[in-house]
A and B are shown apart, each in its own frame.
Chain A
Amino acid sequence: MKKKWRELPIAVGMLAPSAVILGLFVVYPLVRAIQLGHLRCDATGKRCRDGGWGQYIDVFRSNEFQHALANTARLALMTVPIGLALGVGLAVLADKQIRGIGFFRTVFSSTVATSVAVASLIWFVLLQPEIGVLPNLFHGIIPSLKQPGLLRDPATALPAVALSSIWASLGFTFIVITAALQGIPRELYESAYVDGAGGWMRFSNVTLPMLGPTILFTSVVLTTRAFQSYAEVALLTGGGPDPQRPTQTLPYLIYGQNSLVKNDIGLKSAAAVLLFFVLLVLAFVQFRGLDKRVHYGS
């Protein structure tokens, strides 16, 4: 009991730097944004009054928010399953002790070195109809690559953003799943083999269940990334093409160049808090839904 209090001053001193930074730039913004989200401002954005909690409901139900939410969900529905499937597929494919496998592992991990901005600019130029390599190589097979171009066609703009983001995340997914694969005890495979389980049986009865926690973790990370997609939208499409704006994601609605709420601190805060809320709900649902099916081993 005495010791407990004796070490308090030094503990406070050691925790202070982190506590000040996290308090000022993480906790305070959270609390303050929730307060600011109540503010209802006039057109100039200068005069504001308290609009109460009702503003959150209004913002959530607004067409702009619903549209951006739907776009973001669509993006996640493309990037998460495809990203996971590719990550697991590549990791399993490269999980063999054969010559030169180190080279292939490095290649599959390589996109981890690209930032979202770099990956987006790579795909921006790659898909550019006039000088991009892909449209000019393949427009014979897929005419819309050139006319009007994937990023300018409302039907393909969002899948094109998803393509860039799946590619950019592939290195991360591959590394995490490869590490998890290597942690699976080899005896499990051996006993499955002895029991006469074929390749597919071993994959679905040993590999997939043992990868459960990692797949859960990766899917939460990929979903979060989709709901945080800002740089790829800013650099690839600017939320367009107009007027449908199929790539206007929630973060871009809040922070984009031509954002409607740019100068309205009340609406901007409310939308940001709602985005946080959506992320919390999604993480919660994923953990609850998948946790039951996930096998954590011993």
Chain B
Amino acid sequence: MAADTGATERLHGARKVGRYALLIFIAFLVLFPIYATLMQALKSGPDAIKNPQSILPINFTLDTLRAAWRIGDLGRLLLNSLFVAVLVTIGVIITSLLAAYAFAFLDFPGKGPIFVCFLATLLVPVELTVVVNQRTVDSFGWINSYQGLIVPLLATTFGIFLVRQVFLTVPKELREAAALDGVGHFRFLLEVATPLCRPTLGALALFTFLGTWNQYLWPSAIITDDAHRTIQIGLERLKTGDFDKFNLVTAGTVIAALPIFAVLIAFQRQLVRGLTAGAVKG
């Protein structure tokens, strides 16, 4: 069944029904955890213990969601995550545009080797850098601060590489003509080069935003106070040992997941573009 790739033949009759049945069944399996979580979040605490197997929206209440919002201080956590992710995204766009411009449009000694050095940083995983970055950030007095959450993320080689790839497709003559007209590098970057790579910037922005929003290890390494906790590391506080509070975790999870679902539905195209950019050969 799964083997007949290629749209050269049309599906008919029984095969079509079979295909739909399979698609619906798998869609059900993939969505089930999300659906069950949503239903759980709509149960009251006592109901969750009495009817743990129920997954239909009966007796549903918003009380648990409200309680999770209040007890977990989720508004604060979401705002922290939003603030950090937005600033990091803006920063990455700026640093990527600048560095990519230098690599694509400027000529300077050692350009090739320097670019390779930049690329090599892609290999270093965050699991390695946290050990030392924790100490560095501590020495700056940035433990429990927004600076600590933001500054180390303000440049990524992925972003530089992505933007450079687009810049390289811009004809050299365009820059030369602009130079003859007395257009400086910064004006050319701002008014010609940047608009040309708008779709890529969209994908980069979405990716940086999601990556920053979803971080776990780094915030948990440098944040211990409530004021700066992000949503990913803050949800754990709802995880108490009491069974009647268990659906608070669920409710918190639903609240944490909703904004990202909304963002992704709005920006599906950019997401696919960004995800596949890493997979193309080269």
Contacts and interface: CB of A to CB of B under 8 A. Distances in A.
Contact of A3 (B9, B107, B263): B107
Contacts of A29: 124, 128-133, 136
A15 interface: yes
B3 A203 contact: yes
Nearest to A99: B20
Given A130-B49, A203-B5, A122 B253 contact: yes
Contacts of A203: 2-5
A286 B1 CA distance: 30
B197 interface: no
Nearest to A94: B23
A156 interface: no
Given A111-B30, A218-B279, A28 B106 contact: no
A173 to B, nearest CB: 10
B12 to A, nearest CB: 11
B182 interface: no
B201 to A, nearest CB: 16
B33 A21 contact: no
A96 B16 CA distance: 11
Interface in A4-30: 4-5, 7-8, 10-12, 14-15, 17-22, 24-30
Interface stretch (A49-57, A60-68, A74-82, A185-193): A185-193
A176 B272 CA distance: 7
A72 B39 CA distance: 33
B246 to A, nearest CB: 5
A150 interface: no
Nearest to A132: B52
A186 B7 contact: yes
Contacts of A109: 268
A131 B55 contact: no
Given A110-B34, A125-B249, A25 B129 contact: yes
A104 B21 CA distance: 12
B214 A117 contact: yes
Contacts of B152: 21, 24-25
Interface in A176-202: 176, 179-181, 186, 189-190, 192-193, 199-200, 202
Contact of A98 (B11, B96, B154, B160): B11
B195 interface: no
B136 A28 contact: yes
A27 B133 CA distance: 11
B40 interface: yes
Given A167-B33, A175-B272, A36 B132 contact: yes
A144 interface: no
B144 interface: no
A92 B3 CA distance: 7
A108 B99 CA distance: 36
Contacts of A230: 127, 216-217
Nearest first, the 4 closest Cβ-Cβ pairs linking A and B are: A189-B6, A199-B4, A29-B132, A115-B214
Given A8-B108, A11-B111, 6 more contacts: A125-B40, A130-B243, A167-B33, A186-B6, A230-B217, A276-B127
